[in-house]
Structure 1
Amino acid sequence: MAARHVTGYGLATWAGLEEEAFTVGELLALAAEAAGGQHHHLVAVQLPVSLETMTLITQALHGAGPFPAAAGLASG
């Protein structure tokens, strides 16, 4: 950080992924477009996880939704 560059950033969404307004892949594509290439530094997405909002957990237990999608993008 000596040059004071941002080394990573994230975003938070309450319902965007749960309501399928966008996907993890679409978020990464937007980050790349905004940065002018694949070196966008988007490293985190914060989602709500609670007993009231179990949709994302249920999807993950069935191999669907943003959690497995993000894991696949990170490893691929």
Structure 2
Amino acid sequence: MRVLYFAWVRHKIGHSQEDISPPAEVKDIASLMRWLATRSPGHAQAFVQPAHVRAAVNHVFCQPDHPVRPGDEVAFFPPVTGG
């Protein structure tokens, strides 16, 4: 699974992407965020308030209960507002 980080999420984690193999119990965006938060202090900071992080799986915006699978591309980013 490839994970991409954007904006302040990337800044807190310290890199823009990583290839990961989460454990079998990671089945959706919410559980992926919880697992990622255990990987480093930067990850923990980025995911301390999961409601403030948006996600997309394979270029499609999704909710926390959206499933994730090996081979997916998952992107995390802050909420975006227009102006």
TM-score scaled to structure 2, two decimals? 0.29
TM-score scaled to structure 1, two decimals? 0.31
**Larger of the two Rg values belongs to structure:** 1
